[in-house]
Structure 1
Amino acid sequence: MTSSRTISANGIEIFLLEQGEGPLVLLCHGWPELSYSWRHQIPAIAAAGYHVVAPDMRGFGQTSAPSDIGAYTVFDHVGDMVALVAALDEKQAVIIGHDWGAPVAWHAAMFRPDIFVAVAGLSVPPPSRGRGRPLDTLRESGITNFYWQYFQTPGVAEREFERDIALTMRTLLGRGFSDPAASLFVEEGKGFLGDARFDRPLPRWLNEADLAYFTAAYQKSGFRGGLNWYRNIDRNWELTAPWQGAQIVQPSLFIAGSKDAVITGLIGAKRLADMERVVPNLKRKLIVDGAGHWIQQQRADEVNAALIAFLEENAGSASAQ
């Protein structure tokens, strides 16, 4: 049975869900999500013989949300996961991430191969550090309305999302990122949510109880913590300069939906094609036909099967302690 607790690690309080015994598996969620996003994976992976831990990431849910924007860099997020492994009295783990959690997982594997013995990323390909700061590159390409840019000014997106949190969560999760025109580029005057309607039918993978859980959590936490991750995109580029061209050599897995705009757009498609250069020990690249962005919720059985098969082949060293 899944239980919850809060652990002090890396100077913050981290809320987590956990289940099972065996080698440690960390599940890192993305935006705008929670540890609850892994509700289908936690019991399945635990039943396969693993100690599964899914934290609310820094700034989300019941985990601490520092007020300083600079406290949300990739170093902070990886530091949280390193400290969490130690706080759980373990020395090694397999790390799995979705959406923003994927860059955390990829960088954790890159920075600390001594701790993270295998890595899986969902929806977001491994890091490929470009020649310039990402936001500068967008501007120089003539792009001014990408959602990363809309999220930069503190308070703008917060005001939009917090005006009606129930409607916001219904729109964000119900729509997803399957329609790039609606999701990734922000029309002047329409905000990120665009045509937000309460009569939008929920997708089959999301029920009203699930939506109520997300809504209640964001009514307590607000959106600032999660949005601060985006406000460090250029800073992350600067901080990761020492790892320019670095590879992730551990066994790795990638899973995404064929209709996810994160991998179908120009940048994502290129990173998808170039993936093996960054992760030469890629065991499998699974593109789930017809699936969108919220892959581990939308297509739980296929994701679980792929994750468990990967763990059975590659988590052995995490248990040899």
Structure 2
Amino acid sequence: MLVPIGAGTSIDLTDTGRGPAVVLLHGWPVTAVHWRHVVPVLLRAGYRTVEVQARGLGSGSTGRGDHAKATLAREVLAALDAIGVRRFAVVGHDVGATIALLMAAEQPGRVAALAVEEGVPPGIRVEAAEAETYPSWHRPLFTAPQGVAERLLAGRLDATVDAYLGGSAGPAGLDFGAHVEYMSAYGSDEGLAATLALYRAEDVDALAVRRATRHRLPMPGLAIAGTHGRAGQVAEALSHAVGRLHQVTASSAGHYPAEEAPDAVNGALIPFLRAA
């Protein structure tokens, strides 16, 4: 459903179940389909799930604001206010991890627990290595000077998304249906401006993250990584933000552990949430 939050902006979310709330924020270039193996387990465990599509990620949310992750974090918090969610745990994947971290820093009293899946927020320096196969070519492409990336990618974004999804997944690859869904959501020129804006905000995002992590946040953190993805970088990055750190690394997964190794992710996430 679309939740209006003012200034012409509406946030697309799916609110399911009853119990303590768990907010799920996916990254680029996936959709809420990313959580298809997590949501049923959370619901059976007695949680309320709120799958949020932050503006610029997918095509559901609307509005014309900037794509700084602090702005997106405030928009998600406003949408949660609108549906009556006061206290919650939050799980963020990729770009969604940066949004989740900034939400926790903005309103720490509301956030019971912070889980980060395959996310290394800009502004946090890490020494650990990512997997050799994890692609890094997309970042300089998307942050090329204004006009250059647009000319290079116009009419070719589908091939770019396809290459990134294939290169960032683990050895088995993503489920074919999910891969097709993500291609459909991000592969057209309609989403090009938002994709570039998400990445071009990294300098602003880095400043916001450095401010947010000057002091450790009070909630516990769970780092979820794939051996073929960001690997040890995820836990190292999250250790800069929280004082109580838990971690799980899925040996078969790349950048999408919740899809590629759901048993490992759910097996760590449910106890983590219960203990928070």
Indicate whether the TM-score tops 0.5: yes
Cα–Cα, structure 1 residues 244 and 213, in superposed 2: closer, same or farther, change >3 Å?
closer
Aligned with 1:257 (options 205, 217, 226): 226
Query: Which runs of 4 or more aligned residues in structure 1 lie more than 6 Å from their structure 2 counterparts after TM superposition?
Result: none
Cα distance in 2, alignment partners of residues 125 and 215 from structure 1: 24
Is 1:53 the counterpart of 2:50 in the alignment?
yes
Is 1:62 the counterpart of 2:60 in the alignment?
yes
Counterparts of residues 269-308 of structure 1 (less than 5 Å): 272-273=235-236, 275-282=238-245, 284-308=246-270
Is this contact kept in 2: 1:169–1:211, CA < 8 A?
no
Aligned positions, number: 262
Partner of 2:271: 309
What is the aligned-residue RMSD (CA, Å)?
2.7
Cα drift, residue 112 of structure 1: 1.1
Is this contact kept in 2: 1:65–1:225, CA < 8 A?
no
SS of residue matched to 1:211: helix
Instruction: Give a deviation string over 1:3-44, Cα, whole Å, max 9, x none.
Output: xx1111254111123321111111111111222221221222
**Paired residue type of 1:81:** V
Partner of 1:317: none
**Paired residue type of 1:206:** D
Partner of 1:181: none
Is 1:229 the counterpart of 2:224 in the alignment?
no
Cα distance in 1, alignment partners of residues 152 and 172 from structure 2: 23
SS of residue matched to 1:124: coil
Partner of 1:141: none
Cα distance in 1, alignment partners of residues 107 and 44 from structure 2: 28
Cα–Cα, structure 1 residues 309 and 272, in superposed 2: closer, same or farther, change >3 Å?
closer
Partner of 2:3: 7
Cα–Cα, structure 1 residues 164 and 286, in superposed 2: closer, same or farther, change >3 Å?
same
SS of residue matched to 1:90: coil
Is this contact kept in 1: 2:227–2:251, CA < 8 A?
yes
Cα drift, residue 232 of structure 1: 1.1
Is this contact kept in 2: 1:34–1:57, CA < 8 A?
no
Aligned with 1:212 (options 180, 203, 223): 180
TM-score (norm 1): 0.72
**Paired residue type of 1:294:** Y
Cα distance in 1, alignment partners of residues 225 and 166 from structure 2: 17
Cα drift, residue 121 of structure 1: 0.4
Instruction: Give a deviation string over 1:147-198, Cα, whole Å, max 9, x none.
Output: 43321234544555552455444322122166xxxxxxxxxxxxxxxxxxxx
SS of residue matched to 2:30: coil
Partner of 2:168: 176
Structure 1 segments unaligned to the other structure (5+ residues): 131-144, 179-201, 315-321
Cα drift, residue 58 of structure 1: 0.8
Cα drift, residue 240 of structure 1: 5.0
Partner of 2:142: 151
Is this contact kept in 2: 1:296–1:303, CA < 8 A?
yes
Pick which of 214-223 and 296-305 moved more: 214-223
Cα distance in 2, alignment partners of residues 126 and 222 from structure 1: 22
Partner of 1:97: 92
Cα distance in 2, alignment partners of residues 41 and 244 from structure 1: 28
TM-score (norm 2): 0.83
SS of residue matched to 1:114: helix
**Paired residue type of 1:312:** R
Is this contact kept in 2: 1:106–1:127, CA < 8 A?
no
Structure 2 segments unaligned to the other structure (5+ residues): 126-135
Percent of residue pairs identical? 26
Is this contact kept in 1: 2:102–2:212, CA < 8 A?
no
Cα distance in 2, alignment partners of residues 157 and 108 from structure 1: 30
* Higher Cα Rg, which structure: 1
Cα distance in 1, alignment partners of residues 25 and 173 from structure 2: 23
Cα distance in 1, alignment partners of residues 273 and 67 from structure 2: 29
Cα–Cα, structure 1 residues 277 and 13, in superposed 2: closer, same or farther, change >3 Å?
closer
Cα drift, residue 309 of structure 1: 1.7
Is 1:35 the counterpart of 2:26 in the alignment?
no
